[in-house]
Structure 1
Amino acid sequence: MDVNIDRELLMQVARSSLHTKLAPALAEQLTSIVVDAVLTIQREGKQIDLFMVEIMSMLHKTAADTKLIKGLVLDHGARHPGMLKYQDNCHILICNVSLEYEKTELNSGFFYASPEEREKMVQAERRFVQERVEKIIAFKESVCTDEKSGFVVINQKGIDPQALDLLCRAGIVALRRAKRRNMERLALACGGYAVNSVDDLEPECLGYAGKVYETVLGEDKYTFVEDVTNPFSCTVLIKGPNAHTVAQIKDAVRDGLRAVKNTIEDGTALPRRRCRVLALGQADGVQEDRERQDPPRCRGLCPGPADHPQDACRQLGL
Structure 2
Amino acid sequence: MSLRVLNPNAEVLNKSAALHMNINAAKGLQDVLKTNLGPKGTIKMLVGGAGDIKLTKDGNTLLKEMNLPSPHLNLFPFEPGFKQIQNPTAIMIARTAVAQDDTSGDGTTSTVLFIGELMKQSERYIDEGMHPRVLVDGFEIAKRATLQFLEKFKTPVVMGDEPDKEILKMVARTTLRTKLYEAMADQLTDIVVNAVLCIRKPEEGIDLFMVEIMHMRHKFDVDTRLVYSSTTVDL
- State if a TM-score over 0.5 links the two structures: no
Q: Greater share of helix residues, 1 or 2?
A: 2
| Bigger RCO of structures 1 and 2 (CA < 8 A, at least 6 apart) | 1
Flag the structure with higher strand content: 1
Using structure 1 for the length normalisation, give the TM-score: 0.23
